[in-house]
Amino acid sequence: MTPTVARLAPAGRPASLLRGLVSAPFLYVAAALLLSAGVLLAFLVAPLDASGLGFTQKIFYFHAAIAETALIAFAVALVAAVLRLVRSAGPPAGLEVAAVRLGLFFSGLVMVTGMIWGRAAWGVWWAWEPRLTTFLMALLVYAAYFVVRGSIDDVQRRETVGSVYAIIAFVTVPVTFFATRYLPEGLHPVVMTASEARMETSMALTFAVCTLGMVALLAALLRSEVALAAGAGALDEVKDLLEER
């Protein structure tokens, strides 16, 4: 079977089903359903926090889920960057760039929701405590990724330097993740450990559903961003061909 015929041949049902499950439309629908369920669980099922935060604590289910999703996005950028450097047929550059961009987007949401929570719970919009400070550090380091890429004109060198930078920048992710556990105690409580979830079952379920919804949204946005980048690249190639003629 020639390559052209192979591309046109119908795929097997398992492969088609898998592609459908990871397609952007399916992921958007899954994210919408999960996040809607998360909202209902947070406000109608999960009990009020007993630590004194009361109703304000309910922002935790979204704030923490967004934070975990931001770190996952940066992990995707790391994997994409490593594969691009070690494999000639690695993932497209659009995946790495999209992952960093979306990681910054979710990081911005983390800062906003965190400041709202901090103001309601502790009476301040910002405090230089370990988790907040390390997350801000990660946000600034990854924001510089686009500054570095934008300063290089050569496309190939830009992609290589960008991938190297994405790998180095990932050092800030474990620092942020473990800040609450190993740095001096700050405003953030530790509610999830390796052995247990320090919350009621309904609260843990709500947090899990919200986290899955945010991750599904990240996956859908990544699919859309990569598709748009591929379309833009193909359009540029056509324009170059037309200009050469």
Q: Judging by beta carbons within 10 Å of its beta carbon (0-12, 13-18, 19+), is residue 219 exposed, middle or buried? A: buried
CA distance 226 to 92: 8
Buried b (16+ CB within 10 A) or exposed e, 72-98: bbbebbbbbbbebeeeeebbebbbbbb
| Domain chopping of the chain, boundaries | 25-226
Predicted local distance difference test score (pLDDT) of residue 167: 95
Does this model's pTM top 0.85? My answer is no
Q: 20-69 pLDDT, tens per residue?
A: 556 788 999 999 999 999 999 988 888 776 556 666 778 888 988 999 99
Predicted local distance difference test score (pLDDT) of residue 46: 81
Q: Is the pLDDT of residue 197 over 90?
A: no
Helix (H, G, I), strand (E, B) or coil at 49: strand
Predicted local distance difference test score (pLDDT) of residue 9: 40
DSSP conformation letters of 183-241: SSP-SS---B-SS-BSS-HHHHHHHHHHHHHHHHHHHHHHHHHHHHHHHHHHHHHHHHH
Predicted local distance difference test score (pLDDT) of residue 2: 44
What class has domain 25-226? mainly alpha
Helix (H, G, I), strand (E, B) or coil at 171: coil
Q: Is the pLDDT of residue 183 over 90?
A: no
Q: Rounded mean pLDDT of 127-137? A: 81
